[in-house]
Amino acid sequence: MRLTPLALAALIASPLWAQETGTTVISEGAAEEAAEAVAAEVAGDADNLQILAASEVTLDDLLWLRRPIVVFADTPADPRFTEQLELLTARPGPLMERDAIIITDTDPAALSPVRTKLRPRGFQLVLIGKDGEVKLRKPFPWDVREITRSIDKWPLRRDELRRK
């Protein structure tokens, strides 16, 4: 399932309504919830590609287990954010083969542990190795092919390929 950026923006911008009062509910985690909703909607057919909010995970939990791909934005309505999620979920297979996990953070005010550690400005794509080291930062969306080519150059990934 592939949504257009306009459809994603509409999904994000739609207010959360109170059950019977007809008033708009705004919570502290509304931005994170919107990002999760977008990720879940976009990733509906992405098999087992995990997309988590930064508030749900710490990078230390993933050490030596997964390769985090962190997508930051100042708002879930950022067109670069929606484009990056579309690119990542369009081809989940190569990312799953490389033990990747997607982490999103669209709430600068929340100061999640991931945001505090990586200190992004605006939109940023961050590739992190299983060793917990930042391998690459990009200020614009990247295609899965570019991401996997970068991952395949890392020493630990080359060792994994040799062992297979």
The CATH number given to whatever domain includes residue 72 is 3.40.30.10
Residue 148 belongs to what domain range?
5-163
For residues 11 and 3, is the Cβ–Cβ distance under 8 A?
yes
State pLDDT tens for residues 106-159: 999 999 999 999 999 999 999 999 999 999 999 999 999 999 999 999 999 999
What is the number of structural domains in the chain? 1
State pLDDT tens for residues 3-15: 444 444 444 443 3
Considering the entire predicted model, what is its pTM?
Answer: 0.74
Buried-state track 34-52, b at ≥16 Cβ within 10 A, e below 16: bbbbbbebbbeebeebbbb
> Quick one: pLDDT band at residue 164, thresholds 50, 70, 90?
confident
The per-residue pLDDT for 8 is 43
The per-residue pLDDT for 72 is 98
